[in-house]
Amino acid sequence: MEPYSYDEITQAPIPEPYHLHHLLKMSYGINQAALKELTGYDDCNFLLNDVIWETAGAGPSQAILKVSNPLEAKCDQNIDFQVKICQILSEKGINCPKTIRRLDGREWGREEIVDGVYLPVRLFEVIPGSNLENFTYDPDIVEEIGEVLARFHMIADQSKLSVSHVPYIAVEHRRGILKELELLLDRSIISKDNAKLISECLAEFDNGIAKHSEMHEIGMLLCKRIVLLQQIFF
C-alpha cells in the first residue's frame, strides 16, 4: 500500500519575516537577527546572522532555524529521533549541528508557522563548511564522502534507534518519485532526456537490484545509472 496520496502536502510553508522574528523572541529570547532563506526541499530553513540575545552571551551570533515538513510533523518521534541520532553521531566523531534549546528548556517545539499551521521548529548552531552539492567529483573527495556515509550507517545501526517514517521521495514510495518527476518536467526544471533517464534508472533498480536483494544483504552496489540519477536529482 502506498504511504501517501498524490495530493499529500509535503513542504513546509514559508512564514513572513515579522512572524519569524516574533517566534524567535518569544521562544528563544532573540531580540534581533538578520534572516536569510536557505535551500531546503521539504523543510524551511533560515540562516540567522548578527543575532542579538535578550541575555548577553546566551547564544552564538549565527544560527540555523529549521521548520520541519508536514510529513515529519505527523509524529513527534520523528523529530526526537533526529535530535538523538545527531547527538550520537557527534559523540562518535561525525560533527553534527548542536540544538540550541528554547527558553522552556526543550530541544524543539511546535509553532504556528502560518495561520492555523503548526510545525516543529528547531534552532541549530552553525557548522562551518559548504553544502554537499557544491563539491567537485575529485576521487579523493568522493572516497572521503563514501567513508563518512559508511561510518554514518554503522553508527546508526549500532545505536539501535529506530523510527517508522517513509519520506515522500523514497524507494518505498516509488510513485512519489515519479509524480515529482512529472511536476519537475512540467515546470521545465529538468529536461526530457533527464526525465527519461530517471525513469530508466528506477526500472533498472527494480529489475536488477530490488528483485535480487537477497543476494546483496552486505556490501555496496555501484551502478553507473544510479549514480547518474543521484547527480540529476541532487
CA distances from 173 to 72, 122, 167, 178 (A): 15, 27, 8, 9
Residue 8 lies in a domain: no
Residue 45 lies in a domain: yes
What is the distance between the alpha carbons of residues 30 and 7, in angstroms, rounded to a whole number? 37
Residue 64 and residue 150 in one domain: no
Positions in the chain short of pLDDT 50: 212, 214-234
Residue 172 and residue 83 in one domain: no
Residue 6 lies in a domain: no
pLDDT for 227 equals 46
pLDDT for 3 equals 66
Final residue in a domain of this structure, among 95, 124, 153: 124
pLDDT for 173 equals 66
Place of cell 535551500: 39
Residues 6+ apart with CB under 8 A from 36: 46, 47, 48, 49
Domain encompassing residue 77: 17-124
What is the distance between the alpha carbons of residues 231 and 173, in angstroms, rounded to a whole number? 20
Residue 220 and residue 169 in one domain: yes
* Continuous H helices in 110-220: 139-159, 174-186, 192-208
Residue 10 lies in a domain: no
Final residue in a domain of this structure, among 124, 155, 186: 124
Q: Record the pTM.
A: 0.73
CATH of the domain at 21: 3.30.200.20
* Strands annotated E in 54-116: 63-67, 109-114
pLDDT for 202 equals 78
Residue 24 and residue 114 in one domain: yes
Residue 119 and residue 44 in one domain: yes
What is the distance between the alpha carbons of residues 184 and 96, in angstroms, rounded to a whole number? 31
Residue 4 lies in a domain: no
Final residue in a domain of this structure, among 91, 124, 157: 124
Residue 83 and residue 22 in one domain: yes
111 and 27 Cβ atoms separated by less than 8 Å? yes
Structurally, the chain folds into a number of domains equal to: 2
Residue 188 and residue 214 in one domain: yes
